[in-house]
Amino acid sequence: MHMKRNILIVVMVACTLFSAALRAEQIRQITWDTLIPLHLVSVDPLADFTQDQKDIVYWVINMLESLPPRGPETEEYYQEIDKAMPTLRKAGINIQEVLATRNKIRTTVNEDLNGQRIRMPGYLLPLEVSGANVTEFLLVPYIGACIHVPPPPPNQIVHVKVTKKGGYKTKSLYDPVWVTGVISAKSMVKDLYLVDGSAGVNIGYTMQASQIKPYEMTRQKGRSRTPPTDQRPME
């Protein structure tokens, strides 16, 4: 009787351990939208605006974010912004509230992803290279990010370190890849060294990549398909 009970206990413990190990090995495939907290994914601070109002708001935001502080050299541009403000106020649009909401959407990370083993697609922007192999890179949702065009929002950039000895052999800049590993919501600033100088890039996530594979192109009705980003338009 005792023997049977002991065997039953051993079997139960083994099943529990196996189930836990199985859960640990489960990989969650995510999209770029998953990096944004669920309650913010559908938020659009411009949803109720007309197209003309959106055009003005986009212009003001782009000017405010790209211009140096107000001074003799920029006064002309700031005066143009000042001229646009009465039109926005008349429509009941508070540009500071729009900027605050937009900033929240762009910078808030999804804490629920911490420690999860995930798999996601994107484009590889090398940071550290050994020969032809990349050991550290940024995973970004579109080609040209951080170099030819403004960087994506912090919660749309993943800083990846390759755990495999020797790194990942890349063929070109912005290789489309699938990356598998443990992700963490961890903010940091990383310097990118460009042809015309260096720039700091705000990053919302880090990942220890255990596996990197080329993104397999598929064809649908004669058309090639590029890596899905599912990135919400922020601007």
Measure the CA–CA gap between 60 and 11, rounded to whole angstroms: 66
Categorize the per-residue pLDDT at 157 as very low, low, confident or very high, splitting at 50, 70 and 90.
very high
Task: Parse the chain into domains and list their residue ranges.
Answer: 51-107, 110-225
Please write the tens of the pLDDT for every residue from 13-47: 444 444 444 444 689 999 999 999 999 999 999 99
Helix (H) / strand (E) element for 56: namely helix 51-66
Closest CA to 207 of 170, 229, 180: 180
pLDDT one-digit tens code per residue, 69-123:
999 999 999 999 999 999 999 999 999 999 999 999 999 999 999 999 999 999 9
Query: What is this structure's pTM?
Result: 0.76
C-alpha distances in angstroms, 167 versus 23, 187, 209? 27, 23, 10
Based on its alpha-carbon atoms, the radius of gyration of the chain, rounded to whole angstroms, reads 23
Q: Which two tokens stand for residue 181?
A: 């590993």
| DSSP sequence for 2-25 | HHHHHHHHHHHHHHHHHHHHHHHH
Average pLDDT over residues 207-220: 81
- Class of the CATH domain delimited by 110-225: mainly beta
pLDDT at 186 over 50: yes
